[in-house]
């Protein structure tokens, strides 16, 4: 399973949580992950996708083999692999998992005090988070 997969970037200073739709592609199809601090100077659009300073580099040829075998009609471009969720951020951005965990921890005391308020706060804070990601230009957030 590559659900909840955490991957460090090339320089190991940052990490991202990834998800693989239907477990169709193995995690190593993402041959390189670069954070804004270690990203390459130039982007190879045939194999790389950039998202707010992060760069994902895919083995598109191997991904194409998996797609062909499984009858996926899309061509294995970085954009398709990412947007269709076959090997992409878990959530909308690399740090979403941690943001979500921190939010739950922060609001946890409300559970016993006022469950309705807890659920309402959880929802409104998450909506605000997504709006911030969207404004910052994160690719998956644009589709929300
Ligand atoms: Zn890095």
Per-residue pLDDT tens digits for 43-67? 999 999 999 999 999 999 999 999 9
Residue with tokens 């090997």: 87
Model confidence pTM above 0.85: yes
Sign, Cα dihedral of 130, 136, 138, 143: positive
The C-alpha angle 86, 88, 91, rounded to 5 degrees, equals 120
Q: In angstroms, what is the span from residue 129 Cα to ligand 1's centroid?
A: 23
pLDDT at residue 77 in the model = 98
Q: In angstroms, what is the span from residue 70 Cα to ligand 1's centroid?
A: 33
Q: In angstroms, what is the span from residue 36 Cα to ligand 1's centroid?
A: 6
User: DSSP string covering 15-70, please?
Assistant: EEEEE-GGG-S-GGGEEEEE-TTT--SS--TTTEEEETTEEEEE-HHHHHHHHHHH
Q: In angstroms, what is the span from residue 54 Cα to ligand 1's centroid?
A: 9
Q: In angstroms, what is the span from residue 15 Cα to ligand 1's centroid?
A: 8
User: Which residues, 6+ apart, have CB-to-CB distance to 94 below 8 Å?
Assistant: 14, 15, 16, 17, 35, 54
Q: In angstroms, what is the span from residue 31 Cα to ligand 1's centroid?
A: 14
The 10s digit of each residue's pLDDT in 69-84 is 999 998 999 999 999 9
The C-alpha angle 19, 121, 21, rounded to 5 degrees, equals 10
pLDDT band at 1 (very low <50, low <70, confident <90, very high): very low
């Amino acid at each position: 399973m590559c659900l909840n997969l955490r991957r460090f970037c090339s320089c190991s200073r940052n990490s991202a949580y990834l998800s693989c739709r239907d477990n169709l592609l193995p995690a190593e199809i993402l041959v390189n992950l670069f954070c804004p601090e270690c990203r390459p100077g130039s982007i190879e659009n045939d194999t790389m996708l950039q998202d707010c300073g992060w760069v994902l580099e895919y083995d598109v040829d191997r991904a194409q083999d998996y797609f062909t075998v499984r009858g996926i009609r899309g061509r294995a471009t970085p954009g398709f692999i990412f947007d269709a969720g076959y090997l992409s951020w878990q959530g909308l951005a690399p740090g979403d998992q941690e943001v979500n965990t921190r939010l739950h921890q922060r609001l946890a005391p409300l559970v016993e005090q006022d469950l309705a308020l807890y659920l309402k706060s959880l929802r409104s804070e998450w909506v605000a988070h997504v709006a911030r990601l969207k404004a910052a230009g994160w690719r998956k957030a644009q589709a929300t």
